[in-house]
Chain A
């Protein structure tokens, strides 16, 4: 085999391996919590077993191809015809069966360790509802409702406080996938699935919807903020307050509030403490406290908010929020109002 092929193969292999173990925000091989870590351990076991099988079988194949190639100096006689051998065939049936049994038992242990262990009393609950094309999060104990950005406390392995996600869908099937925290779980209408995560370090964990759910499946991103218990408690307290109603010294926001309440916005959006109680779109009570809009892809700035309200489909084609056809003045004041919803 020409040397360049081998060199090329070695180069691609190192490139592939290098990127696979690189520090990227959604790397499966960079786990940051128990479910993802036990999956990672299993994956490494499976990878090494299959790699050994590959090296043996591919090596034998390569050897046979070189050793037994037809050479111009060969005689014209056909090679010896061998029709089979029971012993050999039995051996390559039994050995794979043993490997399969080993793999099966290990896999079963990880499945049971992830899906069949009792829920600890210290666990926190969040209800996750998938929508075309955004996420709704409800915290049943505190009554907090938010969208697209999930906040959870970190879980200390000594006294674990995992977050249990109870998942369903309001429309079509979606799938919750934050690779560094856990494998994915589908959200299916008329069905309740559960999974749990327990991030061990504070920070932002990214992911996205993994089940094709329609036009904007690509921009249904996931953001999980893992916070220290104190930060998390403060966040819950702040989210639990009703929306700001008075905007002294900010007439634009006051006017924007009135425009918002007079328009169809309130059919789809909730702003707690006002007449806006729609449930079709994300809860906007604390919109300004979020880093992004449109389920992740867009930074939450006044300019972006204005562009979004003007015509969501230019920023996220296929979004189900209609263009509201507001005039420039109304757009400005609504943006001023939404930017105040901390």
Chain B
């Protein structure tokens, strides 16, 4: 095979080689390289994953038996507030931004993000926001009294957040942390959109762009329209608390419903902000391990864009029990049900991609299979909840908790784990251990199903969420005990992953450029990629440039419309 420009890269030695440790730290602190920033996002998010998971374990221990006194109600309320806030703002968003930061420029053949310094700023302000949130544990009244950690729920409904009902500073920590993380998110989203629109390599028309950058484009646009109202709401809440404004302060005539609208205008698109990157990983990984091109690329793009638009009109399905009236309810039932159509198209296209392939059951693909089944169930329970009367019964119950953990863990976290195993060789130059990976997969899969399958049932049996204890005799006891055991399995699986990542970094097999025999541009550069990514900016003629090089007799470009 003749060498083509696309496979060439700067073969420079690692810049950090032979440097003093202090210089290495300095270099990471001051870096504007998209790959290093991406990695810092991922490491910081993994730390918060472990913290947020630990909080979940404490809650499951408390709820494992009825009338338990493991933690006090005050501590429990702080735990679920911190768990939700951490997992959404300081685990989910940063880890997905980190993956995007690392992958988007590589996959579109660019040398860096459009605004490298803005990129560094966005990371550091998000990291600071996370530290600020956890500083609340020691910022208030001492460690075990659990300081003044927020206890108003991650949704922070008015008027529980007003000065009257939430004196002290716990709510302020929450407000400021979310506000700052919002600034970071908007910065990163701006950067991703600009990078994708302006920095694609030669020949990469939008219609030839891999699906991962496409989905990051839609996700970043959603961040603008979703996070901005949330940021505005944080400002309004702070004005209420400190300058006597009356937006949400019901004691002075403010509106609790107004906060719900602001929050869910953010909160529902946020679900798609988190899940679109998960789809993005699936779109890259499933074809490679099925050895087939993505089925229906234009349909996948169209479905993603329409999910982006429809997701903006479904927020009030979180408010079916707030008394919207029949007309309002009916509209939001319709909007919510409609979103299942493009989502269904995605599942069917993945199925069609697998169909007729040669499926390789490596660890990334195993996690993707988990993703497919679990996302299917998550979508179907979502359809159930979109039927408003069903939602009147089961909203704010454990059924909803089970449903959205199916989305957030069953779909997003499984997809993320898959992405870790898939791109780890690119990032480190080492393969991750398949044996440990399988341990991780099975522990986590069993734990996931023990926890979240069984969690649907106490919801049907009338168990509300956010309660720190319950009486025996409602039929909830056995189920909660099983759920607790599942949580411990999941924690064990996650620890195997962390161990695998560290172990493989030192002891793993060398990966080479392209260990999975994949087709997108990031696999054309050395592992790990040099700081400027591409020695010569690549030129592409199709959606799968490496396929064309590997199969010159049957290039992709012949088939693309």
Do A and B interact with each other, yes or no? yes
Task: Tell me the A residues contacting B by CB distance below 8 Å.
Answer: 12, 16, 19-20, 22, 24-29, 36, 38-39, 42-43, 46-47, 50, 53-54, 57-58, 60-61, 64-65, 68-70, 74, 78-85, 88-89, 92-93, 96-97, 100, 103-104, 106-108, 110-112, 114-116, 132, 171-173, 175, 177, 179, 182-186, 188-191, 193-194, 206-219, 297, 317-318
Residues of B near A74 (CB, < 8 A) are 358
Interchain CB contact (< 8 A) of A20 among B157, B351, B460, B470: B460
Given contacts A93-B345, A212-B153, contact A188 B323 (CB under 8 A): yes
CA distance A92 to B380 in the complex (A): 16
Contact B388 A111 (CB under 8 A): yes
CB distance from B130 to the nearest CB of A (A): 23
Q: A61-B372, A111-B329 are in contact. Are A183 and B250 (CB under 8 A)?
A: no
Say if the beta carbon of B296 comes within 8 Å of chain A.
yes
Is A68's CB under 8 angstroms from B392's CB? Answer: no
The answer to whether B460 and A68 have CB atoms under 8 Å apart is no
B462 at the interface (CB under 8 A from A): yes
> Any chain A CB within 8 A of the CB of B467?
yes
B residues 342-359 near A (Cβ < 8 Å) are 344-345, 347-349, 351-352, 354-359
> A residues within 8 A CB of B77?
212, 214-215, 217
Partner of B344, one of A22, A96, A213: A96
Q: Considering the complex, give the chain B residue whose CB is closest to the CB of A185.
A: B321
Asked if B118 is an interface residue, CB under 8 A from chain A, the answer is: no
28 residue pairs from A and B, CB less than 8 Å apart: A24-B475, A25-B462, A25-B474, A27-B460, A28-B462, A43-B393, A46-B384, A53-B380, A78-B291, A79-B290, A81-B559, A83-B297, A84-B295, A89-B296, A100-B341, A107-B388, A111-B330, A111-B388, A177-B396, A185-B323, A188-B256, A189-B256, A190-B253, A208-B464, A212-B160, A215-B151, A217-B77, A317-B74
**Are A217's CB and B354's CB within 8 A?**
no
- Name the interface residues of B253-306: CB closer than 8 Å to any CB of A: 253-257, 290-293, 295-299
User: How many chain B residues touch the partner (CB < 8 A)?
Assistant: 102
Given contacts A19-B475, A183-B393, contact A190 B256 (CB under 8 A): yes
Would you call B359 and A28 a contact (CB within 8 A)?
no
In the assembly, what is the distance between CA of A93 and CA of B349, in Å?
11
CA distance A101 to B491 in the complex (A): 42
- Is the CB–CB distance between B389 and A110 below 8 Å? yes
Of the candidates A16, A82, A107, the one whose C-beta lies within 8 Å of that of B333 is A107
Q: Is the CB of A317 within 8 A of B297?
A: no
Q: Is B321 within 8 A of A215, CB to CB?
A: no
Select one of B250, B334, B360, B462 contacting A24, CB under 8 A.
Answer: B462
Q: Are B323 and A175 in contact, CB atoms less than 8 angstroms apart?
A: no
Q: Would A97 and B341 count as touching, CB distance under 8 A?
A: yes
Closest partner residue, chain B, to A43 (CB atom): B390
Q: How far is the CB of A208 from chain B (nearest CB, A)?
A: 6
- Complex: A65 Cα to B290 Cα, angstroms: 10
Are A184 and B321 also in contact (CB < 8 A) when A20-B461, A81-B292, A217-B467 are? yes
User: Is the CB–CB distance between A57 and B376 below 8 Å?
Assistant: yes
**B383 interfacial by beta-carbon distance below 8 Å:** yes
The answer on a CB contact under 8 Å between A188 and B297 is: no
In the complex, A46→B399 CA distance in Å?
15
Q: How many angstroms from the CA of A88 to the CA of B291 in the assembled complex?
A: 21
Query: Given the interface contacts A89-B296, A188-B256, does A27 sit within 8 Å of B475 by beta carbon?
Result: yes
The CB with the most chain A CB atoms within 10 A, among B72, B330, B347, B463, is that of B330
User: Are B393 and A193 closer than 8 Å at their CB atoms?
Assistant: no
Question: Which residues in A have their C-beta under 8 angstroms from that of B253?
Answer: 190
Which stretch from B132-140, B168-176, B450-458 is at the chain A interface? B450-458
In the complex, what's the smallest C-beta–C-beta distance from A50 to chain B, in angstroms? 4
B356: chain A residues within 8 A (beta carbon): 68, 79-80, 82
Cross-chain contact A115 with B329 (CB below 8 angstroms): yes
- What chain A residues lie within 8 Å of B165 (beta carbons)? 132, 171-172, 214
Residues of A within 8 A of B296 (CB): 83-85, 89
A-side contacts of B333, CB under 8 Å: 104, 107-108, 111
Contact residues in A for B357 (Cβ distance below 8 Å): 68, 79
Among B330, B333, B389, residue most surrounded by chain A Cβ atoms (within 10 Å): B389
* Chain A residues with CB below 8 A from B466, complex form: 212, 217-218
Please indicate the chain B residues that have their CB under 8 angstroms from the CB of A114 in the complex.
Answer: 389
Residues of chain A contacted by B297 (CB below 8 angstroms): 83-84
Indicate if B18 sits at the interface (CB-CB under 8 A). no
Bound: A317/B465 CA distance, A: 19
Residues of A within 8 A of B397 (CB): 210
A111 touches B389 (CB 8 A): yes
Q: Chain A contacts of B70 at CB under 8 A?
A: none
Binary contact readout B354-391 vs A (1 if CB under 8 angstroms, 0 otherwise): 11111111000000010011001100110110111111
Instruction: Using A78-B291, A104-B333, A173-B160 as known contacts, say yes or no to A28 and B256 having CB atoms under 8 A apart.
Output: no
- Report B145-202 residues with CB < 8 Å from chain A CB: 151, 153, 157, 159-160, 165
CB-based contact B358/A82 at 8 Å: no
Residue in contact with B323 in the complex, picked from A82, A100, A193, A297, CB distance below 8 Å: A193
B551 contacts chain A at the CB level, 8 A cutoff: yes
The 4 closest A-B pairs by CB, nearest first: A183-B392, A26-B462, A218-B467, A193-B323
Q: In the complex, A16→B461 CA distance in Å?
A: 11
Measured between beta carbons, the chain A residues less than 8 angstroms from B330 are 107-108, 111
Q: Enumerate chain B residues within 8 angstroms of A57, measured Cβ to Cβ.
A: 347-348, 351, 376
Which residue of B321, B389, B464 contacts A186 across the interface (Cβ within 8 Å)? B321
Docked Cα-Cα span, A20 to B463, in Å, equals: 12
Tell whether, in the assembled complex, residue B396 and residue A317 are in contact, meaning their CB atoms are under 8 Å apart: no
In angstroms, Cα B73 to Cα A258, docked, is 35
Q: Give the docked Cα–Cα distance between A70 and B365 (Å).
A: 12
Whether A70 lies near B373 (C-beta < 8 A) is no
A24 touches B461 (CB 8 A): yes
- Quote the shortest CB–CB distance from A84 to chain B (angstroms): 4
Chain B residues lying within 8 Å of A42, measured Cβ to Cβ, are 387, 389-390
Which of B372, B380, B551, B554: most chain A CB closer than 10 A? B380
B442 to chain A, nearest CB (A): 10
Q: Which of A81, A104, A214, A318 contacts B293 (CB 8 A)?
A: A81
